[in-house]
Structure 1
Amino acid sequence: MMCRLIFFLMLMASPALAARECHGNAACPLGDRSYHVLEPEGWDGQSPLPVLLHFHGWSRQGTVVVNHERIAGATKLRGVLLVAPNGLGKSWDFWSADTGDVPFADRVLEDVAKRYPIDPKRIYVSGYSFGGAMAWRYVCQSGNDKAALLAVAGSIRQTEACPEAPREVRHVHGLDDTVMDFPFGPGGDTTYPVALWREKYNCNGATPRGDWSVKPFLTLSRVEWTDCAQGQVVLDTHPGGHFIPHGWIGWQLDELLGRTPTYP
């Protein structure tokens, strides 16, 4: 009887069970704010987890992220823990370095690490629209220990000076985006959306990688910068507007995790 009681108490104290106090649609409280978390399918409850920290779009909350086919659908199948902070007023303050949302996101990751055995070398930062801009702001101010930025259709000004940076940057943007307008450079330069990181990493020479797609109705064109003093930069563009391309997040995670890219 005593052995069963001790075993029960050990289970109750395990991080995996403690994490279940908040999961999916049930938000994890953090002071006067909160975030959402979603475990990958088939996780054994012990193995360290890569993390995708994803900032939701304007007028949304983390509940949208953990139920989104193109976000949660990707992490669930790839052994990645999805973390979705909730923005104040359903938005983010990414306009300048003087924002409370960066330290809030730091606290979110600290709290997640108390609930789950996360892999600190595989923390990926993502976001869509206003959330994409917030992801840029976050790694600009607190990115030195982050593995990669995976930003969708949103960024900060390319003229900003970022004190920190992740090990790798990946960005996707639609040429016909009129919500978070595609930031064409001088003379219509379509590589300008990642000019900030190319300068930060001191990159030389763009390398076109050709077209790719996971759905026949949307073709993406890739350019990479790998000859850099540090890091590397990947830019995918497409002819569409303001949306998360099918399979894009999953494809990036596959490449970063050393997997053969698949869809979904």
Structure 2
Amino acid sequence: MKYIICLMALIWAAPAVAMGPSKRECVLDVPCELGDRSYHVKEPDDWDGTSPMPVVIHFHGWQRTGALPVKHQRISGATRRRGVLLIAPNGQRKTWDMWSPETDDVQFAADVLEDVIKRYPIDPDNIFVSGYSYGSIMAWRVACDRGEEMNIRALLGISGIVGSNDCAQAPQEVRHVHGLKDNVLDFPFGPGGDETGPVALWRSKMGCEEPASTPAEWSAVEILTLTRRTWDCAGDQKVSLDVHPGGHFIPHGWIARQLDELLDRPPVYP
């Protein structure tokens, strides 16, 4: 609670602070320095320079940097068209320390959010964390350790999960996608080949009702159909899982679809 109060104080002060042009010199290839660490920024198209923005903090995959997500069509292509500020932290040695709770990288994620609030006016009710592959595991870790403190509206995980049951906190909503033929971070089937296994941790942590909703199919492009299951959980929390027959990749339109639904926009592609 103390963290949230401090966060809100920073948010209310942000519009006055963020107007200085020196605060926005770091975009795309030019990282924002934060001590001995850094992160990249992609502002949305047609932003007026003053309106508060939803934020996606997206963690890159193994041996990548934050310079990739801010140019990636399936990541920044989604955020920039929806008025969302994209933040892409840089992992040390191009990876993340996410296998145990409260690592230095978890604190770094919290520090990044505080620094972003000093530079930009943001919408405190729409803070999302996302990631792909190892970056998805890192996003899960941040949601596990700081979901409540950082006021995370939703976790958007892609092809990577935390495999243990050590989550002290939770976001308000969890959305995950995984390919059944993923041969990099294998699909985590449940007992007897249960395809709801990837979100078992959150269903337990968030007190979700069983069974899931009736599976529903959707697609953004003709070449890939996803099957969605959803669970209603305690305290109006929700969990959803999209499964597809492919491998280890970010599905076309997946991030865009999640943001459209979370922000009450008509789903469109791209």
TM range (shorter): over 0.9
Check 1:249–1:14 CA distance in 2 against 1; reply closer, same or farther (3 A cut). Answer: closer
1:39/1:76 contact within 8 Å kept:
yes
Q: Deviations over 1:175-228 (max 9, x none)?
A: 000101100011000001000100011111200241100111100000000153
Work out the CA distance in 2 between the residues paired with 1:259 and 1:16.
31
Query: Which residue of the partner structure matches residue 172 of structure 2?
Result: 167
TM-score (norm 2): 0.91
Check 1:94–1:227 CA distance in 2 against 1; reply closer, same or farther (3 A cut). Answer: closer
Q: Which of these residues, 179, 191, 206, is aligned with residue 196 of structure 2?
A: 191
Q: Which of these residues, 112, 133, 138, is aligned with residue 134 of structure 1?
A: 138
Query: Which residue of the partner structure matches residue 12 of structure 2?
Result: none
Residue correspondence of structure 1 range 58-77 to structure 2 within 5 A: 58-77=62-81
- Percent identity reads 58
Secondary structure of 2:68's counterpart equals helix
Work out the CA distance in 1 between the residues paired with 2:217 and 2:109.
34
Q: Which of these residues, 195, 198, 206, is aligned with residue 201 of structure 1?
A: 206
TM-score (norm 1): 0.93
- Confirm or deny that 1:152 pairs with 2:158: yes
Identify the range of structure 1 (201-210 vs 111-120) with the bigger mean alpha-carbon deviation. 201-210
Query: Which residue of the partner structure matches residue 222 of structure 1?
Result: 228
- Confirm or deny that 1:253 pairs with 2:259: yes
Residue correspondence of structure 1 range 32-43 to structure 2 within 5 A: 32-43=36-47
Count of matched residue pairs: 252
Q: Deviations over 1:145-196 (max 9, x none)?
A: 1100000000111x41211110000000000001011000110000010001
Work out the CA distance in 2 between the residues paired with 1:257 and 1:20.
25
Shift of residue 16, structure 1, vs aligned partner: 6.0
Check 1:19–1:207 CA distance in 2 against 1; reply closer, same or farther (3 A cut). Answer: same
Q: Deviations over 1:220-257 (max 9, x none)?
A: 00000015355110000000000000000000000000
Provide runs of 4+ in structure 1 moved above 3 Å: 227-230
Q: Which of these residues, 79, 82, 99, is aligned with residue 78 of structure 1?
A: 82
Amino acid of the structure 2 residue aligned with 1:210? A
Work out the CA distance in 2 between the residues paired with 1:102 and 1:95.
11
Q: Deviations over 1:58-79 (max 9, x none)?
A: 0000000100000000000000
Q: Which of these residues, 7, 14, 18, is aligned with residue 22 of structure 2?
A: 18
Check 1:17–1:226 CA distance in 2 against 1; reply closer, same or farther (3 A cut). Answer: same
2:154/2:174 contact within 8 Å kept:
yes
- Confirm or deny that 1:180 pairs with 2:179: no
Q: Unmatched 5+ residue regions in structure 1? A: 1-11
Amino acid of the structure 1 residue aligned with 2:36? D
Larger Rg, first or second structure (1 or 2) = 1
